[in-house]
A and B are shown apart, each in its own frame.
Chain A
Amino acid sequence: MSWNWDNVDAFMPLFWDGVIVTLKALFFGTLIAFALGLVWAIAKRSDQKWISWPVSAVTEFIRNTPLLVQLFFLFYVVPEWGPSMSPLTTGIVGLGLHYSTYTAEVYRAGIDGVPIGQWEAATALSLSKRRTWTAVILPQAIRRVIPALGNYVVAMLKDSPMIATIGALDILGEAQSYSQETFTTEALTVVGVAFIVIAYPASLLLRALERRLVR
């Protein structure tokens, strides 16, 4: 067993650079996943077949194929047709898109959980379709699904190292380049431990939130 704390000290500044990139990916990825997921969920409920069917097909396809390959697709294929994006931007779009298909299911469950009487009451008050959604259904649905959405943020955190494979310098990317330059292993271990240190309190927090919000 060889372990050298000097390597840990030397890696630390790079580690914090990586943390910032990881947090950026997580934050913007979450924004996309939460917003797009709601769009998918509402589109899937549409009674227009030409909207709901393609959306279901596309989201099922995204959900059942690997995020890693999707990232490669976005990074290598999409620039052939249109805009080329930086590794971090590609990572954000990839994470957001992939997880939007998961959050869509969460929203769907939340919307299904709103009692049918609420829809009927909205009809009885002759609220418009738009008002029914924004003032009656969504406020009730979203409150209940917040903990489940939180679970996906933690899952996204654990998948975020994949963006290192397309060259983004997140914490895994920094650890990888440091390890390769110095032929040491400590940096990778530090990153592994960092994930546990962040993910465990996060899951405790979510459990507490769940107890408060879902009753």
Chain B
Amino acid sequence: MMSSEFFWEWFLPGIWITIQVTLYSAALAGVVAFAIGTLRTSRLWIVRFLSGAYFEIFRGTSALVLMFWMAFALPIMLRIQFVPMAAGVLALGLTYGAYGSEIVRGALAAVPPAQREAGIALNFSRSQRLWKIELPQAWPEMVPPFNNLLIELLKGTALVSTITVADMTFAGGLLRLAKGDSAPIYTLLLVLYFILAFLLTRGMRVVERHAKRRVGQVPEKTGFFSGLREKSATDALTGSTGGVK
């Protein structure tokens, strides 16, 4: 079993780094998702085209390859220096932001057209309609798929270990080299990720309840395991579990 010294020196800071990477890239992904998602509903074809291109490009590429490219190729090509964590957060945020933009776009499209027409009748400007009518109503629809996306993002953060960010997967690798006893290390790692995913979901459920109460929808009861992911039949069928896979 691992020595306690190693645990305190590497593993615990590693958990903290994993949480940090998750928070930073989730924040970036959130901004990208709302920006690209709303731009994709623009009236101007060029804006729609460019934001659509962003979606297709970042959804099309592999997050790990993008991360390697940002950590190793981009600094040389542009002659700039990146902290490894910045490259990791950028790659994750831009990739998962692209998936998130599809959630935002879909939820905006699901707002009944009459709501938009009512806004026009009240002489609301386009941005007022977006901020005061469309987004508040679309928000509760976005929360469950965003939850799935957040878990995908959390799992994705393990990738930053490959570009030498000392997250918990990286710490696990170091421990393996130091102790050679990999079974307890990797079992503990998997359990830790599961616990983090579970806690994230619980946190998101509070957000979900709050969002649904505001628009007067009652959140349905879910079981112990079913709570981890939103599993509506249509989501699974269209493969749009959080827009990811």
Contact = CB atoms under 8 A, between A and B. Distances in A.
A195 B62 contact: yes
A110 interface: yes
B233 A112 contact: yes
Interface residues of B, number: 53
B161 A68 contact: yes
A104 B69 CA distance: 33
A140 B155 CA distance: 34
A151 B245 contact: yes
B68 A113 contact: no
B231 A105 contact: yes
B65 A113 contact: no
A162 B193 CA distance: 18
Contacts, number: 162
Nearest to B57: A196
A102 interface: yes
B205 interface: no
B155 A200 contact: no
A2 B239 CA distance: 40
A89 interface: no
B193 A69 contact: yes
Q: Is the interface of A mostly helix, strand, loop or mixed?
A: helix
A140 B133 CA distance: 41
Interface string A182-212: 0001101101100110011001000000100
Interface residues of A, number: 62
B193 A188 contact: no
B173 A185 contact: no
Interface of A: 1-3, 56-57, 60-61, 63-70, 72-73, 76-77, 80-81, 102, 105-106, 108-110, 112-113, 144-145, 147-148, 150-152, 155, 157-162, 164-165, 172, 175-176, 179, 185-186, 188-189, 191-192, 195-196, 199-200, 203, 210, 214
Contacts of A185: 69, 72-73, 76-77
B162 A165 contact: yes
Given A60-B225, A179-B72, A161 B238 contact: no
Contacts of B60: 158, 195-196, 199-200, 203
B158 interface: yes
A165 B62 CA distance: 14
Contact of B172 (A2, A57, A69): A69
A98 B104 CA distance: 27
B125 interface: no
Interface stretch (B32-40, B42-50, B181-189): B181-189
Contact of B169 (A56, A69, A110, A179): A69
Given A61-B194, A195-B62, A199-B61, A69 B158 contact: yes
